């Protein structure tokens, strides 16, 4: 097993994974503005690799986020999910337009998909992958990759600063139970 120490190392892992690349190409085929496949899709790949697992950890969903102020109708997201399922039916797609998600979470509007990602509950879920115009893998890690590489689960600053959001963070820790799958994980409160 080679070392994974940089963003380029993570990108290399993704590029070597045929399934992940298929997911990214399929997501790109929708031509969504400011799109990213994020959260567990990235985290699970890296943690599985660093734990020496040869089988992918099952994903409850594959989160595709995008940012489009021109159409914030939730029904459009469901149509995108249907399109994706027709292309890759075995993938549990979840599509969200981050231009409207502030309304759901009762917070100020996001300025982009990466801004929304930076406000995810955990630093290790605030990660996204996309393909650029040349189909090169791009990694977005608004809070860096150190927590990911060191198996540290901590709240993003957005959550850490708000007691009401920290309650949600704690609930997610219980529900996700990451340590049961990845024994190296350290929960930081």
pLDDT tier at 116, thresholds 50, 70, 90: very high
172 Cβ partners below 8 Å, 6+ apart? Answer: 121, 122
- Residue 72 has, within 13 A of its CA and on its CB side, a CA count of 10
Q: State the greatest distance between any 2 C-alpha atoms of the chain, in Å, as a whole number.
A: 45
pLDDT of residue 106: 75
Calculate mean pLDDT across residues 148-165.
94
Does the pTM surpass 0.85? The reply is yes
> In the structure, what pLDDT confidence band is assigned to residue 179 with cuts at 50, 70 and 90?
very high
């Amino acid at each position: 097993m080679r070392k994974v120490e940089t963003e380029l190392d993570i990108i290399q892992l993704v590029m070597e994974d045929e399934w992940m690349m298929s997911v990214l190409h399929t997501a790109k085929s929708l031509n969504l503005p400011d799109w990213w496949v994020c959260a567990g899709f990235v985290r699970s790949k890296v943690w599985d690799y660093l734990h020496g697992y040869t089988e992918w950890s099952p994903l409850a969903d594959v989160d595709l986020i995008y940012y489009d102020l021109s159409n914030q109708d939730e029904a459009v997201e469901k149509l995108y999910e249907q399109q994706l399922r027709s292309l890759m039916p075995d993938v549990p797609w979840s599509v969200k337009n981050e231009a409207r998600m502030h309304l759901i979470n009762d917070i100020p509007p996001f300025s982009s998909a990466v801004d929304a990602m930076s406000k995810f509950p955990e630093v290790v879920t605030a990660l996204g992958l996309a393909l650029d115009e040349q189909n090169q893998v791009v990694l977005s890690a608004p809070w860096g990759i150190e927590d990911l590489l060191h198996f540290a689960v901590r709240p993003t600053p957005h959550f850490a600063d708000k007691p009401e959001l920290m309650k949600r963070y704690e609930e997610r820790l219980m529900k996700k139970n990451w340590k049961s799958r990845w024994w190296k994980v350290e929960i930081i409160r």
